[in-house]
Amino acid sequence: MEAILRAASQAAGVELSEPVDLGGNPRSTVLRCRTAEGDSVVVKAYAAEPDALRGFTAEAAALSLGLAGPGLLGVDPAVPLLVMADLGTAPTLADVLLGDDPEAAVDGLLAWAGGLGRLAAASMPRRADFAELRARYGGHPADPNRDGELPAGQVRHGTLPAEDESWIAGLAPGLSGLLDEVGVAAPPGLAEDMALVGTVDHDEYPAFTPGDTCPDNNLLTPDGLRLIDFESAAYESVFLTAAYCRMPFSSCWCVFTLPDGMAEKIEEVYRAEVVTIYPALADDAVWHAGVRRAVAVWTTHMTVFLLPRVVEEDRFMHRTRRPVSTMRQVLRHRWEMASALTEFPAFAETMRLLLREVAGPWKVTPLPGYPAFGG
């Protein structure tokens, strides 16, 4: 802690004290600290391991763009750490969706969708800048024993990938292997369908995204939506974000169902912003085909991620937050939606097989609605 404070003080150019642990994760330590003038800042120090370094590189580059997120007050690539402006304790989108005020939930959803769309539109001239910043911050390997003080973290993945190295490429083999494990025979044509699904990552409509746009990473401040957590920031297809509106919240823990018409409403709010940079997306055929591919991508991703965890017994989507749905509820809901993707017949049949052969014996209740709308 003392080593982090010293490095953060030097990076920010002001003495910091009174650290309060804000939680973080195995890859990072997040602290709220006081300046000598009595103001507060947030310090995020990353573990000296490959996955954490990847998160640092993406977040440092993203915040340096100045398009979204807290103001960046200092960077030390050698630790590595960031010093950021403190956005305070405003409620998150998750807070209002899990609360009891439907009007606040609607306002939060619209602010979230519009904010992400405006960010995507504003990002278009900055892609080369982002790539340059990634190269700059990714070129400073951290020393876990800098001054003999900072501990190493934990490894999850491998070395820092290039921005255009797709996480989507690993989904098809991951799904194939998982089907073998749970005893579901892949229908003929699945590999071909997955190849078509994967083209969402190579379309003509990329834009900047923080990466993890889940409800708990969106603060609803008096000044409007403010985003946090840019560890997965990248330029990706706008359809991948649009699917977050439709599904909703494709890869998140805060997953329930929305009232009728609400998903379509927030999707149109996001779409209206990105159409300003990609007029072709005003064509319903182009738009809906892209979003449906993205739904298939995210469904595959969450299947590969969640199903191995619940083969034996169900688990909650979050360790401590309540109310919360269960993993089996979310998986069944995702498979039901994806089984309607008839343009990918083998993929849709795979979803139906999972519903019948895997989810059938679970006997879980349907995914409920968000508490703010009456559950």
HEC string for 68-109: CCCCEEEEECCCCEEEEECCCCCCEHHHHHCCCCHHHHHHHH
The CATH number of the domain covering residues in 95-140+160-373: 3.90.1200
Q: By the 8 A CB rule, do 51 and 28 touch?
A: no
CB-CB contact of 317 with 253 (8 Å)? yes
pTM of the model: 0.90
The CA-CA-CA angle for residues 243, 246, 252, to 5°, reads 65
Please give the angle made by the CA atoms of 265, 69 and 253, to the nearest 5 degrees.
55
For residue 95, how many other CB atoms are within 10 A of its CB?
20
Q: What is the dihedral of CA 365, 370, 373, 375, to 10 degrees?
A: 30
- Could you give the 3-state DSSP secondary structure of residue 208? strand
Q: Which residue reads 């999850």 in tokens?
A: 156
H or E segment and range at residue 46: strand 40-46
Beta bridge partners of 219: 92, 226
What secondary structure does DSSP assign to 258-322, as a single string? PPTTHHHHHHHHHHHHHTTT-GGGGSHHHHHHHHHHHHHHHHHHHHHHHGGGSSSS--BSSSS-S
Q: What is the pLDDT along the chain (375 residues), one digit of tens a residue?
A: 889 999 999 999 999 999 999 987 788 999 999 998 999 999 999 998 999 999 999 999 999 999 999 999 999 999 999 999 999 989 999 999 999 999 999 999 999 999 999 999 999 999 999 999 999 998 644 333 333 232 222 222 223 334 445 789 899 999 999 999 999 999 999 999 999 999 987 778 999 999 889 999 999 998 899 999 999 999 999 999 999 999 999 999 999 999 999 999 999 999 999 999 999 999 999 999 999 999 999 999 999 999 999 999 999 999 999 999 999 999 999 999 999 999 999 999 999 999 999 999 999 999 999 999 997
Dihedral, CA atoms, 172, 161, 202, 136, nearest 10 degrees? 170
User: Could you tell me the residue ranges of all domains in the chain?
Assistant: 95-140+160-373
